[in-house]
Amino acid sequence: MKKIKFASLAALVLVSGSLLAACSSDDDSATDASTVETSEVVETEASEEDVVSTASISDQADVIEAALSADGNWIIALTDDVTFDSDVTVAGEFHNRGDDAEDVYRKLALYDQDEDRNVTAEYTLTTPKLVVESPNFNIVHGTVVGDIEVKAEGFVLNGATVEGNITFDTQELQDSAVLDQEGASVTGDVTVAE
- Per DSSP, the chain holds a count of helices (H) and strands (E) of 4, 17
Q: Is 36 helix (H, G, I), strand (E, B) or coil?
A: strand
Helix (H) or strand (E) holding 21: helix 19-22
Question: Can you list the residues of the chain whose pLDDT is less than 70?
Answer: 1-55
Strands (E), the chain: 36-37, 56-58, 75-78, 82-83, 88-90, 106-109, 111-113, 119-122, 124-132, 137-140, 143-150, 156-158, 161-163, 166-168, 178-181, 185-186, 190-192
- Closest alpha carbon to 64 in 85, 81, 78: 78
φ/ψ (deg, to 5) at 57: -125, 120
**Phi, psi dihedral angles at 139 (to 5 degrees):** -100, 120
Q: What is the pLDDT of residue 5?
A: 40
Between CA 47 and CA 106 the distance in angstroms is 26
16 contact partners, CB below 8 Å, separation of at least 6:
31, 33, 36, 38, 54, 55, 57
* Closest among 181, 12, 26, 22 to 113, alpha carbons compared: 22
Q: CB neighbours (10 Å) of residue 37?
A: 18
Nearest to 109 by CA among 83, 74, 136: 74
CA dist 95 and 78 (Å) reads 20
pLDDT of residue 194: 75
The pLDDT of residue 55: 67
Q: Which residues pair with 168 in a beta bridge?
A: 150, 192
Which sign does the torsion angle of CA 141, 143, 75, 178 carry?
positive
| pLDDT of 16 | 43
